[in-house]
Amino acid sequence: MIFLLAACAPSFEGEIYPIQTVQCTHLLSLYEATLYIEARDPFDWDTIAVDVDQGDNDWSAQLREVEDNVWEIEMNLMELDCTADYDLGLYYLTYQ
């Protein structure tokens, strides 16, 4: 069973969680984007997934936990244009 948390963002020690960092750059080519995503949240999620949509293109992946409650991913995406609008969704999941 998968649960998606949808509630007010909790606050710990003055920080409002989750803290999300997204960087989209064109390092090698205008036709290939490097997308870096980092998510921090004190809750022990089982996984965090990302979905990126732009025009007819759709990319999905799971972030990896690099240290306690810090998740990240770096994706090289063909045909993603960082200078144009794109939709990015992060999904925080826990299994019961």
Q: Which CATH number characterizes residue 24's domain?
A: 2.60.40
Residue 38: domain span: 2-95
Position 86 scores a pLDDT of 96
**Secondary structure element (H or E) that encloses residue 33, with its range:** strand 32-40
Angstrom distance (rounded) from CA 70 to CA 25: 22
Angstrom distance (rounded) from CA 93 to CA 57: 24
Q: Which amino acid is at 19?
A: I
Among candidates 24, 73, 68, 23, which has minimal Cα distance to 48?
73
**Secondary structure element (H or E) that encloses residue 2, with its range:** strand 2-4
> Mind listing the pLDDT tens digit for each residue in 7-16?
445 545 667 8
> Mind listing the pLDDT tens digit for each residue in 39-73?
999 999 999 999 999 999 999 999 999 999 999 99
Stated pTM of the model:
0.82
User: How many structural domains comprise the chain?
Assistant: 1
